[in-house]
Amino acid sequence: MSSNPRARKQAILQRLQNRLKLKSESLADHFEFIIYIGLIHKDPKKTQIYRSADVQVLMNNRLEQQILYKSQQSCKSVDDVNQLINDDIVQLHVASYNRVKQGDDNTIAVTNETESMDFRFWPRKDFEKLCCVVLSRWKHDVNAPFRCLQRKFSLSFVQEDVDNYTRCSKYVKDVFVGGEQDDIFIMLQKNKGRSSKKCAFRAKRLCVFLPQNQLTCWNSSSESDVIDKLLFTL
């Protein structure tokens, strides 16, 4: 018995659409992420810890034009940016977070109030570094705890480096400051002061770059272990 040609055609089209959908997905699309951010001060008592309120997941190869455009406005070379595009890299973006507070009895709590990232990055000399720890779990496993990825991210606040980035930003509004390993970036927004010759930069967005083949490289640290390490050991 011959099949209906129209039904056969619809089935073929459906299979093609499913294949295209699978090709457009990445492994990262099947994970949930949270990121803990530590603003490590030179005075340890002033260290601030935040937990991401939302993590936006993007693949470099989906953003080629945007990345190239931004590279023309920043101090990074085109070769560096092309390397990032060619690598199978996951971008994890954070623009809002919740504070992590330690009580008088050493209890740890994440506040319910979500804040947009907006802190003065430059000029200031009280920061030592910014640290990020990424945790993840499979989207379908909603009852499972988040697990800590092995890779850690750190951006040191070297005054000379920040000065160089800000000098490059004379004619642009936004600046991207990156770590030595090119795996963590902060987007800074320039705000002019009262004097036209003076300006300040405020952090508005954080991004970490993670090779997709490291998405399942977890260690044994729990979420509470991560907070403890950020508060007491970094």
103-152 confidence digits (pLDDT tens): 666 677 888 999 999 988 877 788 888 999 999 999 988 899 999 999 98
Res 173: pLDDT = 67
Rounded to whole angstroms, the Cα distance separating 47 from 111 reads: 16
Q: Which residues contact 76 (CB under 8 A, 6 or more apart)?
A: 176, 178
| Both tokens assigned to 204 | 């508005």
Residue ranges, the chain, pLDDT below 50? 1, 20, 63-64, 233-234
Which pLDDT value is given to residue 43? 86
pTM of the model: 0.75
Supply the pLDDT for residue 26.
Answer: 73
Q: Which of 99, 105, 113, 122 is nearest to 47 (CA)?
A: 99
Strands (E), 42-179: 48-52, 55-59, 89-94, 96-102, 108-116, 119-122, 127-138, 147-156, 174-178
Interacting residues of 84 by C-beta distance below 8 A, sequence separation 6+: 60, 67, 182, 209
